[in-house]
């Protein structure tokens, strides 16, 4: 398939081409016109070698969509891209970045802070969380964080409208009361692939923050996609642990309970880049800033829905989104 024509800020292209010359190894509406550039702004020369980037991602839908967006944006800027998306779990992808196997991938601010920097408390303010993780990770590990997207892919406890009404549970404090007063109704389905049952920003931390504990027999471990169906009809559980940007959440009749103690951390996605690569191509910041700022929670949910429910490929979903927002044509 031919590469889509670049409609991203011209400065990125011009700067990349200057660096290379020095020897370095459907369109949107009127609101999107600021992203477009005209062909005569590309000072392309057939003798110049493309910049090359290895793009990684974890092996789940949102990560693969974000990885595809990154790959297609870089290719549109005439970079050569090695696709290493779907590498595996978070630890494997982070190690690949630190070792130089990949050059960049989308990480989540709270994951960087709590997992990679081994902090035990998240920072409630999203901007302060980003600034703290970006500063520490650069100083300690040479990893550069670009500005985060506003979307928040965090945990939530959800239930159907009927369950919420019948059990009079609208927030997690209400759920804590239910555990004390009617424990037989406080059943919880969850997926444990990421260690939710034992991680301090998961089940134990939530129970500690709200001052309750589920009866052991009320905890039901299921596959990630099964959480939504098992909880929607209350066939197995009355409550389920979901992700706020999951396409299955949109498909289901589930609604997250209010996290009235603000326990769950903020997980804003941001591109993380090897420091040496960013130093060589600081234009990456300008390239991805307008992309990142459009990735709010609803957008991430819709992108995931297109893959998880409608059956489209991450590549197709990424391509359509870039075109609809005027980044490529």
Kindly give the residue spans of alpha helices, DSSP state H, lying in 168-246: 172-181, 203-210, 224-232
DSSP letters spanning 99-110 = HTS-SEEEEEHH
HSE-CB for 323 with a 13 A CA cutoff: 11
What is the pLDDT confidence band of residue 79, given thresholds at 50, 70 and 90? confident
d(CA 39, CA 23): 24
pLDDT 10s digits, 271-320: 999 999 999 999 889 889 999 999 999 999 999 999 999 999 999 999 99
d(CA 255, CA 253): 7
Domains along the chain? 10-152+268-324 (3.40.190.10), 155-256 (3.40.190.120)
Q: Are 3 and 265 spatial neighbours (Cβ–Cβ below 8 Å)?
A: no
pLDDT 10s digits, 93-145: 999 999 999 999 999 999 999 999 999 889 999 999 999 999 999 999 999 99
What is the pLDDT confidence band of residue 201, given thresholds at 50, 70 and 90? confident
Q: What does DSSP say about strands 155-160 and 143-145: parallel, antiparallel, or unpaired?
A: unpaired
């Amino acid at each position: 398939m031919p590469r889509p024509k670049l409609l991203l800020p011209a400065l990125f292209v011009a700067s990349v081409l200057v660096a290379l010359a020095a020897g370095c190894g459907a369109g949107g509406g009127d609101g999107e016109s600021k992203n477009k550039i005209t062909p005569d702004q590309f000072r392309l020369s057939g003798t110049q070698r493309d910049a090359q980037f290895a793009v990684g991602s974890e092996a789940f839908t949102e990560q693969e969509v974000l990885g595809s967006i990154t790959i297609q944006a870089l290719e549109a800027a005439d970079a050569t891209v090695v696709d290493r998306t779907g590498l595996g779990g978070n630890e494997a992808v982070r190690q690949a970045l630190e070792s130089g196997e990949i050059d960049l991938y989308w990480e989540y601010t709270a994951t960087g802070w709590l997992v990679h920097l081994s902090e035990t408390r998240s920072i409630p303010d999203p901007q302060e969380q980003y600034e703290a993780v970006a500063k520490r990770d650069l100083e300690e590990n040479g990893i550069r964080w670009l500005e985060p997207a506003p979307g928040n892919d965090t945990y939530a406890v959800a239930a159907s409208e009927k369950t919420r009404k019948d059990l009079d549970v609208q927030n997690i404090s209400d759920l804590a009361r239910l555990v004390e007063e009617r424990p037989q109704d406080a059943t919880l389905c969850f997926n444990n692939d990421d260690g939710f049952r034992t991680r301090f920003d998961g089940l134990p931390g939530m129970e500690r923050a709200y001052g309750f504990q589920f009866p052991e027999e009320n905890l039901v471990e299921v596959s990630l996609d099964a959480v939504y169906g098992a909880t929607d009809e209350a066939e197995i559980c009355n409550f389920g642990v979901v992700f706020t940007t999951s396409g299955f959440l949109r498909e289901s009749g589930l609604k997250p309970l209010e996290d009235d103690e603000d326990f769950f951390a903020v997980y804003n996605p941001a591109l993380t880049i090897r420091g040496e690569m960013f130093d060589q191509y600081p234009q990456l910041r300008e390239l991805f800033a307008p992309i990142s700022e459009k990735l709010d929670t609803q957008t991430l949910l819709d992108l995931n829905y297109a893959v998880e429910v409608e059956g489209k490929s991450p590549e197709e979903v990424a391509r359509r989104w870039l075109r609809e927002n005027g980044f490529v044509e």
